[in-house]
Amino acid sequence: MRASTRDRIATVVSEIGGPSPLLLVGLLQVGLPTGAVLPTLISVLAMAVAPYAATIWLARAGRVDGRFVADRRQRMPILLATLVVVMAGAVAVALLRAPSSLVWLSVVAVAALMIVTVITLRWKISIHATIAAFFAGLQVALFGPIGLIAIAVPLLVMWARYRLRAHTAGQLVAGAALGGALALGYALLV
Dist CA 5 CA 2 (whole Å): 5
pLDDT grade for 2, boundaries at 50, 70 and 90: confident
pLDDT band at 67 (very low <50, low <70, confident <90, very high): confident
How far is residue 186's CA from residue 190's CA, in Å, rounded to a whole number? 6
Q: What average pLDDT does the segment 122-140 reach?
A: 97
Q: What is the mean pLDDT of residues 25-51?
A: 97
CA 159 to chain centre: 16
Q: Is the pLDDT of residue 110 over 90?
A: yes
- Domain coverage including residue 148: 3-189
pLDDT at 40 over 80: yes
Tens of pLDDT, residues 74-97: 888 899 999 999 999 999 999 999
Percent with pLDDT over 70 in the chain? 99
Distance, in Å, from the CA atom of 84 to the CA atom of 92, rounded to the nearest integer, reads 12
Number of structural domains, the chain?
A: 1
Q: What is the mean pLDDT of residues 128-154?
A: 98
Q: What is the mean pLDDT of residues 131-142?
A: 98
Q: Residue 120 CB: number of other CB atoms within 10 A? A: 18
What SS3 class is residue 57?
helix
